[in-house]
Amino acid sequence: MAEGYGLTTIVACLKSGNEYCGIKERAVYQGNEDPRQERLAALMQSGLALRQIGDMKIAALACPTAEEINAFMASVGSSIRLQPWAPGPGRFGMAGHLDLSVLWRNPGEQFEEEVLGKKRAVFLMDDDTGAAVLNASGYDHPVVMLPTQNGYDAFMTVCRKAIPSEHVFGEAMRLASAARGARVHHDYEGAIIPCVSLDFMPDISWMVDFCVEGGTAGYSIAAAKQQIRFYMNHKGARVLEDTAMEATLGGSFRQPYFLNDEFLLVIHKKGEPMPVVMLRVMEPDMKDPGDIVG
């Protein structure tokens, strides 16, 4: 089973959540001590994440009920379903769907070859396709780079050890950075790469309690699910990424203070020698006075 997760539709969900809550001024994002939340908060706060998705074709929405989110997920072929919540103003849902196809600069040749002890579909990308086999610093195995017609580059290298979810982002950026500064590996000409067809649901429960605030509005994530479908062959690659979240309104990290007890009340005019009201309000006094206009 594959490992990893996607940030693109998470960012799209948060953008929709901000719009739903009327957060028009600069939002404040706060994660907990989880490094994935901290990184997401930094990407959102800088504006870089929102800028990146600005030119991408992502369908996203925010709405009051889980049923609406689930209907959207079904319409895009996703298996994600949120548990319904009681109707009311306190909760809402967000969803994002990415369908991105990239074509290799030039297509390769597909055939079958033995991979890990089993005959599997593979494809050859030779020098004529623009593929490069690189000798990247910090990596024991060559790095394969496949350029695309869309401006993206794909990087691949052998990875036999599991990568904890909290380290996936760092490892991905490290590979891309090392490959872009690497020299061509002169021991190889082209690369043979396994075809890929996968469909899995990453665990993104680490998103729970992520908070967003803007002015008097705010929300926090109560539940989050994601599905990634990825396909790759000699012509290119396609990723379908879906994320759905349940959010709690007013769950921002600056909660309203609740004066939930007996209290001292003072009304005083600045500069005057004495207050006009000084009362200790008790529990029996806490009731609706009706119309108080004199």
The predicted-structure confidence for 80-132, as pLDDT tens digits, reads as follows: 999 999 877 789 999 999 999 999 999 999 999 999 999 999 999 988 888 99
- Round to whole Å and give the CA distance between 34 and 22: 27
Helix axis angle, 8-21 to 35-46, nearest 10°: 60
How is residue 148 annotated by DSSP?
B
Sequence-distant (≥ 6) Cβ neighbours of residue 228 within 8 angstroms:
2, 4, 5, 6, 198, 199, 200, 201, 202, 239, 240, 241, 242
The predicted-structure confidence for 51-71, as pLDDT tens digits, reads as follows: 999 888 999 999 999 999 999
| The pLDDT of residue 275 | 67
Q: What share of the chain has pLDDT > 70, as a percent?
A: 91
Per the listing, tokens 């994530």 go with 221
Please give the C-alpha separations between residue 11 and each of 47, 234, 269, in angstroms, as whole numbers: 11, 30, 49
Average pLDDT over residues 229-243: 93
- Round to whole Å and give the CA distance between 234 and 252: 47
Highest mean pLDDT among 45-49, 76-80, 149-153: 76-80
The residue extents of the domains of the chain are: 8-100+198-249, 109-196
Q: Which CATH architecture has domain 109-196?
A: Roll (2.30)
The predicted-structure confidence for 180-212, as pLDDT tens digits, reads as follows: 889 998 888 899 999 999 999 999 999 999 999
Residue predicted with more confidence, 189 or 294: 189
Identify the band that residue 252 occupies on the pLDDT scale cut at 50, 70 and 90: very low
Q: What share of the chain has pLDDT > 90, as a percent?
A: 65
Phi, psi torsion values for 135, nearest 5 degrees: -105, 90
- pTM listed for this prediction: 0.84
CB atoms within 10 A of CB 257: 6
- Round to whole Å and give the CA distance between 233 and 238: 9
Residue predicted with more confidence, 241 or 263: 241
- Mean pLDDT (the chain, rounded): 88
How far is C-alpha 222 from the geometric centre of its chain's CA atoms? 14
How is residue 182 annotated by DSSP?
P
